[in-house]
Chains A and B, each alone.
Chain A
């Protein structure tokens, strides 16, 4: 026993040190997303955005005279991991979390944050339930909602493929299914009914049976709700079987990794997302600094930056990090951020979220214009 005594005492001291961030002159904030796993590409975007925002805020003197400290949590987009990560961040003393990425993670994590009265701003989770069924009024997002996205995509598809055969496919995830169903509803309302409606299992590699089925139904366009690895496999296997129907999807294709995985098959693939923030005058300085550091701030990098930025601005204005007061302040006015002016409604959604189509070409993507 005596041999063990010293390490135990040391461990006790170490743990005491770990749980006393209160006396430091720092405010701890959290960031959570899929840092590992097959969506790690997006986790990296969130990390970059949050790190840069914290760095810039600290350089400008911090918040309420204190420096910010960023704690990162990795949920791998696994709904079971999300509450564990949330609790871990809470034990590190965070007062605010920018995250998570997947709707399937953000929603379970939000009830953990709600219990502890921690403010959560997701830069990427678009499922309406995140704010509609929020356990507290402390949830916000700096991205649009799937019904806004679906209302944009659905009528467009209905008009563009009028009288043609459209397939709707999703991956059963809260994000993928939510987006596919809302787009389907908007498309049906605009007068076009899909010919094929199917759900796939994410993480598999063989979707040839689905492709043949769509080929048999003479599909002219595939709308896919889900993430880029499966989208890449489906579009590749479709081209291999000679099915040339364009693949349309949502904001999760917002990464060049899709083009790397799908290769030539990525040409002509379209997805909807908020207007490119990198071109905004408000983002110019930050984007240039990112590029100078050898990183292209694509995807959700800037919306994560904006999430931290808007929180810090609201804290400065409220004069406290108390979540309820900060939330009230956030709803009170429009905020200048890297992604332009953001205003939040009573639920915590953006007051306006405009979507545009993007199209992949030669391994890159760009706004499709009015088309």
Chain B
């Protein structure tokens, strides 16, 4: 096997991992936009809060000496996802619900305010320094060599496998949930026509709150996986990740669930391959350049439906 193939495969794995994380966060943007037509700019910070709760949960486990992985994982998931979902719900309840029905810009500004608030809250509560994952967990993860050639080996770490598998599973789960369950039906009803949905008995406030909770839970899982994968987090990680994931949602077609995933993978791949074969310095230029191109030729994104003028 030539070294080109090995390098390409390795970059493919890097891109898949990065894209999966972007995709998971992007789903939160896209679901909220689909239902109430606003960009939840605080979503990147919800992801950051999810990462912090995950780290706190892991530290608590370490304190009690619980190292059996399945039990630990369940505990971390319940603790971190639960709390982060609470944040997602609270953000909607405090910052967006009172503004529902007012101008389109009001909740947008409110979202930006929420984002600044959450960032500074964590800055004050947790301090500005990066928080490392304690090394107790470091040895539990290994790597799987795939194949080698010309002296280098393509390999995938257990964290990368976990990120990719979890993302696929959640993606399928959520798509089915929205297609098949009654909550999904209510969400789709709200998306089409909120007033009409209310008239036929859909509890709109509850549906929207649940959408925020679902988005926050996904962001938290992304945060947990990033904490495990990169090994340290700080209060500012939500900003860059939020912007990338938002771009992913827009490229894929905001409002579309598979679109968010596709957009996330696309941005991840562009960043990684541009870094790998052209220049690391200009990878963001490449990623956002593609965003511009997509928006010029398909203003609704790759999988987005054109907005029908409601009369």
Interface size bracket, B side: 35 or more
Chain-A contact segment, one of B27-35, B129-137, B185-193 = B129-137
A329 an interface residue at 8 Å Cβ cutoff? Answer: no
Q: Which residues of A contact B240 (CB under 8 A)?
A: 203-204
Q: Which residues of A contact B232 (CB under 8 A)?
A: 229, 232-233, 261
A38-B130, A212-B11 given; A240·B157 CB < 8 A: yes
A36 and B237 contacting across the interface, CB-CB below 8 Å = no
A40 and B283 contacting across the interface, CB-CB below 8 Å = no
B236 and A38 contacting across the interface, CB-CB below 8 Å = yes
B70 an interface residue at 8 Å Cβ cutoff? Answer: no
The 8 Å CB contact of B230, one of A203, A205, A218, is A205
B7 and A212 contacting across the interface, CB-CB below 8 Å = yes
Interface of B is mostly: helix
A260 and B132 contacting across the interface, CB-CB below 8 Å = yes
Q: Distance (Å) between the CB of B285 and the closest chain A CB?
A: 11
A232-B232, A241-B10, A242-B153 given; A213·B129 CB < 8 A: no
B110 an interface residue at 8 Å Cβ cutoff? Answer: no
The 8 Å CB contact of A200, one of B18, B129, B230, B280, is B280
CB-CB contacts below 8 Å: B92-149 with A: 123, 127-130, 132, 135, 138, 143
The contact string, 1 if C-beta is below 8 Å from chain A, for chain B 230-272, is 1110101100100000000000000000000000000000011
User: CA separation between A198 and B256, bound complex, in Å?
Assistant: 36
User: CA separation between A242 and B155, bound complex, in Å?
Assistant: 8
A191 an interface residue at 8 Å Cβ cutoff? Answer: no
Give the number of chain A interface residues (Cβ < 8 Å): 36
Interface of A is mostly: helix
Closest to B148 in A: A242
A264 and B127 contacting across the interface, CB-CB below 8 Å = no
The contact string, 1 if C-beta is below 8 Å from chain B, for chain A 248-275, is 0000000001001101100000000000
Closest to B232 in A: A261
A14 an interface residue at 8 Å Cβ cutoff? Answer: no
Q: Which residues of A contact B129 (CB under 8 A)?
A: 38, 40-41, 257
Closest to B272 in A: A209
Q: Distance (Å) between the CB of B129 and the closest chain A CB?
A: 5
User: CA separation between A140 and B271, bound complex, in Å?
Assistant: 42
Q: Distance (Å) between the CB of A353 and the closest chain B CB?
A: 29
The contact string, 1 if C-beta is below 8 Å from chain B, for chain A 53-72, is 00000000000000000000
A199 an interface residue at 8 Å Cβ cutoff? Answer: yes
Closest to B239 in A: A203
The contact string, 1 if C-beta is below 8 Å from chain A, for chain B 200-230, is 0000000000000000000000000010001
A201 an interface residue at 8 Å Cβ cutoff? Answer: yes
A350 an interface residue at 8 Å Cβ cutoff? Answer: no
A212 and B14 contacting across the interface, CB-CB below 8 Å = yes
A204-B240, A218-B152, A240-B157 given; A263·B132 CB < 8 A: yes
Q: Which residues of B contact A218 (CB under 8 A)?
A: 151-152
Closest to B141 in A: A240
B275 and A213 contacting across the interface, CB-CB below 8 Å = yes
The 8 Å CB contact of A263, one of B10, B17, B138, B234, is B138
CB-CB contacts below 8 Å: A53-104 with B: 76
User: CA separation between A209 and B272, bound complex, in Å?
Assistant: 5
B307 an interface residue at 8 Å Cβ cutoff? Answer: no
A198 and B230 contacting across the interface, CB-CB below 8 Å = no
A164 an interface residue at 8 Å Cβ cutoff? Answer: no
Q: Which residues of B contact A232 (CB under 8 A)?
A: 232
Q: Which residues of A contact B67 (CB under 8 A)?
A: none
Closest to A216 in B: B7
The 8 Å CB contact of A198, one of B157, B236, B280, is B280
Interface centre among B14, B17, B157 (most CB of A within 10 A): B14
A40-B129, A210-B280 given; A205·B226 CB < 8 A: yes
CB-CB contacts below 8 Å: A165-211 with B: 172, 198-201, 203-206, 208-210
User: CA separation between A255 and B301, bound complex, in Å?
Assistant: 46
The 10 closest A-B pairs by CB, nearest first: A209-B275, A208-B14, A216-B7, A199-B281, A209-B272, A36-B128, A198-B280, A212-B10, A205-B230, A40-B128
Q: A209-B275, A229-B130, A263-B231 are in contact. List 14 more A-B contacts (CB 8 A).
A: A200-B281, A203-B236, A208-B17, A209-B15, A209-B271, A215-B152, A216-B6, A216-B7, A233-B232, A237-B230, A240-B143, A240-B157, A242-B143, A261-B232
11 contacts between A and B (CB under 8 A): A41-B129, A199-B280, A199-B281, A201-B284, A205-B237, A209-B280, A218-B152, A241-B10, A241-B155, A261-B130, A263-B135
Residues of B participating in the A interface, judged by any CB pair closer than 8 Å: 3, 6-7, 10-11, 14-15, 17-18, 123, 127-130, 132, 135, 138, 143, 151-153, 155, 157, 226, 230-232, 234, 236-237, 240, 271-273, 275-276, 279-281, 283-284
Residues of A participating in the B interface, judged by any CB pair closer than 8 Å: 36-38, 40-41, 76, 172, 198-201, 203-206, 208-210, 212-213, 215-216, 218, 229, 232-233, 236-237, 240-242, 257, 260-261, 263-264
